[in-house]
Amino acid sequence: MTQLTEHPNRTALPRGHGRGPGGQPAALQLPAGRCPVPGCGEQIDRTRLMCRRDWYLIPRRLRDHVWQSWGSGREAGSHEHQEAVLNAIAVARIARLPQWRRQLT
């Protein structure tokens, strides 16, 4: 069982602007405590989707879609949110390739 599938106390998760989702962790089985973007593996807080570096390689419209589909945790298990998360991870992986970085923005 990964940390993302455990059911921690909701009040133990960070809340507020810039502090993560503040709700239940996503239902996807991602590497616990590590950025899931292939080639990264940076240690991250379990309430984060990926490391800061990779998150900001993703175009804003896709980051916004991940947040919108999250629905403050109510929609974490939805097909829409899981698809948005997988797309974000894929785009971050591509964005790590130098020749693609300019084309994604």
Provide the residue-wise pLDDT of the chain in tens; the chain has 105 residues: 334 444 444 444 444 445 455 444 445 566 678 999 988 889 999 888 999 999 999 999 999 999 999 887 788 888 999 999 999 999 999 988 876 655 555
Indicate the pTM of the whole model. 0.65
| Distance from C-alpha of 4 to C-alpha of 104, rounded to nearest angstrom | 29
Question: In this structure, which amino acid lies at residue 59?
Answer: P
